[in-house]
Structure 1
Amino acid sequence: MSDILDWTNADLDTLDMAAYAARAETMAARLREETGAGRLPFLTMPYEAALKKQLADLEGYLDRFEHMLLLGIGGSALGARALQKAFHPSQDRPGHRGKSLWIADNVDAYALTAYMDSLPPEKTVVVTVSKSGGTIETVGQYFIIKEWMKERLGDAWADNMLLVTDAEKGFLRGEADAYGIKALPVPDNLGGRYSVLSAVGLIPALFLSMDIDALLAGAREVADVLADPALSGETLAGTQAFRLAAWGAALMDKGFTEMIFFAYIPLWASFGDWFAQLWAESLGKEGKGSQPVPAVGVTDQHSVNQMFMDGVRNKACLFLTCPSLPDGPDFPEDLPDQFAYVRGKPFGELIRAEGLGTRMALSRSGVPLVEIRMGADGPRQAGKLIGLLGAATILTGWLMGINPLDQPAVELGKRLAKARMDADGLAEEKAHLAAFLNANRDEREF
């Protein structure tokens, strides 16, 4: 089955798509310039051949371990989790005996203590992911896990550590050089939220025996045409990535300030969290953007769908489906009459019916909706989805007139947190912090 975008209920006749379509030639020129200068490795993937060799060299090493503890946050963890949930679901099911991926993506003393209490260090590889090597939430965990490994493994501690960081600079690169720790690079100009198909996400994928070649090939199906040095405006205008971008920008012009990502592929639900960071961190700038809202079908039909259907009319929806999901067991024939409509039918038919009903109901409720219908739920299709949404996000940002590759507002919170921990410098941040903490507070017990 083919992978399809169904635009039937996208409300295109009410949106000024033509204004953005007219900019296809300008956008194509920008893509040619940016890819030619090496500033969009998400699309060009110049690192692919070298990475495949590095991963092949790692395969035997990773086979030694039963557990992988991934230390990372945001884009260093969300893609890996989405892939694990989609293609290694046995870890979350009863009786799991195979390899396990554990992701420490928060400042959570309970979880970090549990990992050290329960994981066998000799059978655990610790992967620390930070492009800059200075992400304190991640590097802070590294400091503690490093000491745990030293205490338990002695001089061999570094053999169970793997770093994913800048190729040349930063604290973690210094650790790799000082202790001989295995390290793979994060390519230049590849931001965390765009990095899942680099070493950041593919090391965990390799550990869990996923088809990495298929993931990369799927992404290339979308990216290669956009990275073509001869890309024309006409060709770009015909891509689904550009059409999604024009739709997203036109929606915001009409006051649609929320973008639902409704996943009716249960194992792919965590792609909603990955998309939320991608869309929010890329487009939420200068008072612009739309808030991404991950939702899971059918679970969220019974929770937030009431708001989607009958709340403020400011929502659009990307609706992810796959008609070829397994049927599963059949419902029994001897059901009570009130459930006669499912007698003998496959259990999997229910999610298809629920998805269709919700899609129709959203459309009838005035929610512009594009269905992303995957022909299968395999790794090639996942790579294709990653490529499509990443490219569409970049193009949406350009059409909005903002930079979709930075995240300036996020840095303020990081600097204030460092000021609270009394890091050197940061005089201005420390002054703001003191004023905030010394203000008269309106605090009331409940």
Structure 2
Amino acid sequence: MYVDIGNALASVADPGVTRSELEGIDDQVAAAHSRIAEGRADNEFGYAALNLPALVDAGAIRRAVEPVADAGTVVTVGIGGSALGARTITTALTDDAGDSHVVLDNVDPDEVEGVLADLSFEDVAVNVVSKSGTTAETLANFLVVREAMDEAGVDWTERTVVTTGQSGPLADLAAEHDLPTLAVPTGVPGRFSALSAVGLVPAAILGCDVEAIMEGAWEAEATLGPSLFDCPGYAYGAVSYALEARGASVNAFMPYAERLEPFAEWFAQLWAESLGKDGGGQTPARALGATDQHSQLQLYRAGRRNTMVSFLTPRERPGVEVPEPDAEALAYLAGTDLGELLDAELQATEASLAEAGRPNVRIEIDRLDAHSLGELLYGMCAACIMAGELAGVDTFTQPAVEWGKETARDLLQGEETERTAAVEDKTELVVE
């Protein structure tokens, strides 16, 4: 993983960071790194996420999924961190992830009904993921899936792998039916758990190189140190923090690889849920290169000066040769390939933003493979934790999310609480 922060410097961009300011921030990074190291040593909640490379047993995951390793399709039933990491990994590493990995992470009845209608349950492995075992959306969807399998004459207990905490209704169900079960790591918030059984089970079922993913994470872990100038993850977290403090309240995350588009969604949860505290935190916006050069880029180059753009790209990519064009006006395409064109689009977009004085950062991986993906996931978790330390927020909690969960549960149970009163007291101004 490589991070180029040159276009975030004040000599290029406004808002931007001067070199002397970066030196001052580096002193803060050193102090934050000491706190992070202390938290890791004590396996404290949240900081334990950076210990996952030493804790995750890829072999144990493979052994647990052996009963369903013949599946052509994996259905992940989870929400938020219990689904986004898994989808990110399989989309990046499999050519047909859209067909071989289905994620039910919402309770939209149209979507659920449509997904289930297209499945051949004899060929399906179900991975239900919930740390507490009580997540309303996840358990409701799992019950619907289970019933659909029963109606199709498929024994759901033979096709289901459970990922959950040490106790709870889902753990009890798994024990009752002797289901293959993997543990959600203790002390690791869901959005930081991609590099664990939470994110790796579907990849293991589909034959992805789980061991290489963890090797990449190991490599990223080895870069953690007291200076942002020696650690790509810390560099990204520190510069994002500095730019936000100077007015970049939006972080537009823009991969230049279709198979990394779900990574932007994973990043959006990580960044928003971790750093959106105390009236601060960057709003993550998702974009895709080169597609969104033809839409969102107009705003980022010519709109308010409140956005940093984060590019993500592999250094190596497959080439697809562009055929000889028939029109003279397209002669410049002769001898090129699509990968070369996409790289040129990225370079042009960077230059466009820099020319307009808009801050942007480039994140690169060697290639789109398991090792680089593990390195990237770990590096961005470290970046988020560093940004949280510098901002002085509790990176690992999500009180606003919990408020919403508890309110929905109260409504479904018919309980009258202060939260349900807030629902009833909604101000309305209806235009018909």
Shorter chain as denominator, the TM-score bin is: over 0.9
Which residue of the partner structure matches residue 201 of structure 2? 203
Write out aligned runs for 1:271-282 (5 A): 271-282=263-274
How big is the shift at 1:329? Answer: 2.1
- Quote the residue 2:341 is aligned against: 350
AA in 1 matched with 2:86: A
Distance in 1, Cα, partners of 2:190 & 2:180: 20
Kindly indicate whether the alpha-carbon contact (under 8 Å) linking 1:330 and 1:346 is maintained by their aligned counterparts in 2: yes
For the Cα contact (< 8 Å) 1:78–1:273, is it kept in 2? yes
Instruction: Supply the distance in 1 between the matched residues of 2:108 and 2:403 (Cα, whole angstroms).
Output: 22
Answer whether contact 1:80 1:202 (CA < 8 A) is retained: yes
Count of residues in correspondence between the two structures: 423
2:357 match? 366
Alignment gaps of 5+ in structure 2: none
The answer as to whether partners of 1:44 and 1:224 remain within 8 angstroms in 2 is: no
1:26 alignment partner in structure 2: 31
Query: Structure 1 residues 153 and 48 mapped into 2: Cα distance closer, same or farther (>3 Å)?
Result: farther
CA distance in 1, matches of 2:406, 2:73: 34
Partner of 2:275: 283
Deviations 1:236-273 (A, max 9, x none): 66322222222122111111101111111222122111
State which of 238, 250, 264 in structure 1 corresponds to 2:256: 264
Q: Which residue is equivalent to 1:4?
A: 2
**Which one-letter code corresponds to 2:303 in the other structure?**
G
- The answer to whether the Cα contact below 8 Å between 1:162 and 1:183 also exists between their aligned partners in 2 is yes
Give the TM-score normalised by structure 2: 0.92
Are 1:443 and 2:430 an aligned pair?
yes
1:144 matched to which residue of 2? 144
| 8 Å contact from structure 1 (residues 129, 163) kept in 2 | yes
Letter in 1 for 2:100: S
Alpha carbons 2:162, 2:181 under 8 Å: kept: yes
TM-score normalised by structure 1 residue count? 0.89
**Aligned AA (2:156):** W
**Corresponding residue for residue 104 of structure 2:** 104
Tell me which residue corresponds to 1:42: 49
User: Following TM superposition, by how much is the alpha carbon of 1:46 offset from its aligned partner in structure 2, in angstroms?
Assistant: 6.4
**Structure 1 match to 2:230:** 238
> Retained in 1: the 8 A contact 2:195–2:378?
no
Given the superposition, is the C-alpha separation of residues 102 and 352 from structure 1 closer, same or farther in structure 2, using an over 3 Å criterion? Answer: same
For 1:57 and 1:85, the matched residues in 2 are separated by 22
Once the two structures are TM-superposed, the CA of residue 152 in structure 1 deviates from its matched residue by: 3.4
| Partner Cα distance (1:25, 1:321) in 2 | 28
Change (3 A) 1:158 1:82: same
CA contact (8 A) 1:163 1:183 kept: yes
Q: What do the CA deviations read for 1:323-342 (whole angstroms, capped 9, x no partner)?
A: 3211212331x521111111
Measured against aligned partners, the alpha-carbon deviations of 1:63-108 in whole angstroms (never above 9, x if no partner) come to: 232221111111111112222221213344xxxxxx7111111112
Deviates further, 81-90 or 135-144: 81-90
Cα distance in 2 for residues equivalent to 1:331 and 1:5: 34
- Could you tell me how far 1:25 is from its partner in structure 2? 3.6
Q: CA deviation at 1:111?
A: 2.4
Alpha-carbon distance in 2 for matches of 1:157, 1:357: 51
Counterpart of 1:324 in structure 2 is 316
Q: Residue 65 of structure 1 corresponds to which residue in structure 2?
A: 71
Check conservation: 1:420, 1:433, Cα contact below 8 A.
no
| Other structure's SS at 1:429 match | helix
Deviation, 1:434, is 2.4
Q: Give runs of aligned pairs for residues 400-439 of structure 1, distance below 5 A.
A: 400-424=391-415, 427-436=417-426
Find the aligned partners of 2:288 and 2:294 in 1 and give their Cα distance. 10
CA RMSD of aligned residues (A): 2.0
**Distance apart, 1:47 and its partner CA:** 6.2
Q: 1:173 aligns with which of 161, 171, 174?
A: 171
Structure 1: state its 5+ residue gaps. Answer: 93-98
Deviations 1:208-252 (A, max 9, x none): 2111111111111112453xxxx6x35x66322222222122111
Give, in whole Å, the separation in 1 of the partners of 2:116 and 2:124: 11
Query: Contact (CA 8 Å) 2:69, 2:206: kept in 1 or not?
Result: no
Partner of 1:217: 215
Instruction: Kindly provide the amino acid, as one letter, of the partner of residue 45 in structure 1.
Output: L
Report the AA paired with residue 76 of structure 1.
S
Shift of 1:48: 3.5
The whole-number CA distance in structure 2 between the counterparts of 1:375 and 1:46 is: 20
Matched residue, 2:293: 301
Report the CA distance between 1:381 and its aligned residue: 0.9
For 2:5 and 2:425, the matched residues in 1 are separated by 51
Residue in structure 1 matching 2:390, options 391, 396, 399: 399
Report the CA distance between 1:180 and its aligned residue: 1.7
User: In the alignment, is residue 87 of structure 1 matched against residue 93 of structure 2?
Assistant: yes
SS in structure 1 of the partner of residue 161 of structure 2: strand
Q: Secondary structure at the match of 1:22?
A: helix
Residue 116 of structure 2 aligns to a residue whose secondary structure is helix
Q: Does 1:128 align with 2:128?
A: yes
1:62 Cα offset (Å): 2.3
Relative to structure 1, the CA distance from residue 174 to residue 254 in structure 2 (aligned partners, 3 Å threshold; closer, same or farther) is: same
Secondary structure at 2:374's aligned position in 1? helix
